[in-house]
Structure 1
Amino acid sequence: MGIKRRKTKKIRCGDLFIGGDSPISIQSMTNTDTRDIKKTVTQIKRLQESGCEIVRIAIPDMEAAMAVEKIKREISIPLVADIHFDYRLALKSIESGVDKLRINPGNIGDKERIKKVVCKAKEREIPIRIGVNAGSLEKKILEKHGVTPKALVESAMSHIRILEDLNYDKIIVALKASNVKLTFDAYNLLSEKVDYPFHIGITEAGTVWRGTIKSSIGIGALLLNGLGDTLRVSLTGDPTQEVKVAKEILQSLNIRSFGINFISCPTCGRCQIDLEKFAKEIEDRLRDIRAPLTIAVMGCAVNGPGEAREADLGIAGGKNSALLFKKGKIIRKVPQDEIIDAVLEEVKKLDGND
């Protein structure tokens, strides 16, 4: 049974769309100095190769804003400029060809400054992502609510109204906190008030191990509740890891397919082969397969074929051997030293590359 997504506006970002019936897109952010064009482009290309579909760069000053034009010429995915406070950086980034802005209009000065940014965004049909963070809420809102879902939503609505008053509606909204429940409740509350697409994630989630767990719970809960049109997994480390985790979250919920869906059992005392070794090597060798296949590596013949009967292909370990099966039907017995080659051979047949 599929997940019913909340109905939202469909907004163009470069050559793809966010919201509406568009696939939930994966974002990440570079951690290079944007002014170092070569390093930034190199990292963006690595991110794209790993499956990133929208990339954000920090724009701390005018030199970084001017670098956008050269960076855009070297990449082929939508580019987002992350702006804080200085409206001139937003204007320059738009002029330089950025595909989307991340800026909170209430933080960039008086109405005239905001109007200049909005007019330029309208002219180029650039969407604006409002990003409310629990760690930087306005003082008045904090005094009124504290750090709560209502506070995040009230902050977001104040920024949204500024743009709507200027007859601008190409808006995407993010409500982020490092607290999973706070984030979940805030998005649910805001979903009752607006139909703009949501950029979801758990901010400052932590290191790759801890942050993956936290992000999977938070993002997964939102997606299961029908909320989320684009997402970023925020991890301390190589940003390509963010993309890897994001893809697995979406694939685990059957929201997107990125190739192999890999199943393996936790092993038990019945297991008579080195299942961990086989699972790791098979998973690694199948990394580049893009066909939407489910592959199962099970520890024993007692439950293996039955528990993984929906798998396109799988093995169930025996004593120095394994049973090879398709859709739960055993096709042959394979000696231990031939298991990996046998799996790869059958996968190639299923993938149509034999």
Structure 2
Amino acid sequence: MQLGCQKFEEYLPLLADKQVGLLVNHTSMVESTHLVDTLLARGIAVKTIFAPEHGFRGKADAGELIDNNVDAKTGLPITSLYGKHKKPTSDDLRGLDVVIFDIQDVGVRFYTYISSMHYMMEACAENNVKMLVLDRPNPNGDYFDGPVLQKGFTSFVGMHPIPVVHGLTVGELALMINKEGWLNDSLRCDLSVIKMDNYEHSMAYSLPVKPSPNLPNDLSVRLYPSLCFFEATEVSIGRGTYMPFQVIGYPDSTLGDFTFTPVAIEGMSKQPPQQDKLCYGVDLRQEALTHTFSLKYVIDFYNNMGRSEDFISRRRWFNLLAGNDTLIEKIEKGWTEEQIRDSWQSELAAYSQLRNNYLLYP
């Protein structure tokens, strides 16, 4: 397999004599060297770095405020595209001819790197700046599943009418966003995607760098779409441990024999849910890497915790993750996972046809 960032013969000519910005983070590696250093060593005029959630070095907690700063190694200015400043301004892009997006995604609608890509595409379209996406594999790219986001539930954790697991690379998704008119005022970005060689969606892909602080391994990446809904509850999914998104627990001894205690961990989770409390629940670390999106865990914990309406403590947040306000109602009405799945099959069928229009890989 050859990643987009490795295909220098295709994209270096597009950067010659250009002023270049980079939307990158710690995953933007060309083998053992960061893309920033790789391009500078080849004489490319890199002028600025834009950083998504978790920052340029990928060490910030989820939701943590990240300030603009300067990269100590290169002296390049870093503009944070998180917090209140999610979309680049005209001043941010002034003097740039092209912006490169090269970040490892995990193929899930509420993973915010693709939201940052959307806003950069929109800003480039508004300011006549070319955008170049260097494509990377999707570790959840072998399938698509879950409810499709509905109107009225657009947010930074869901900007597009796609299912929870979308089954696209960032390059394919960028093409979809652009051609479907999902940018502001249906703008079109001057977009080019540098494809990978010898990649297929069915391939298992082990990430060489963890994509964010609390997705430390391949299993956490596979379980992430299923467990992220717990973020809208008081239940712990292992933040504050070294097994995040691989365990589920709550301070109630009736919930399981497996125990763990979340603690503050610098660079992973400074204030984890249920901090310093003994949690009881289930250990998913033996789950197969073939795991696909499931509501089983959320439904089981909801039922085992007494079917309380207080289980989902942040209902609006849950609805934004789900992309609708009906999933929460169906869980509370006692629908089975099979019944809930049946309710979104027509949406998935329509999405499947849409997805086929933008596939770059078999």
Same fold (TM over 0.5): no
The structure with the larger Rg is 1
Q: TM-score, normalised by structure 1?
A: 0.26
Report which structure shows greater RCO (CA 8 Å, sep ≥6).
2
Q: TM-score, normalised by structure 2?
A: 0.26
Q: Greater helix percent: which structure?
A: 1
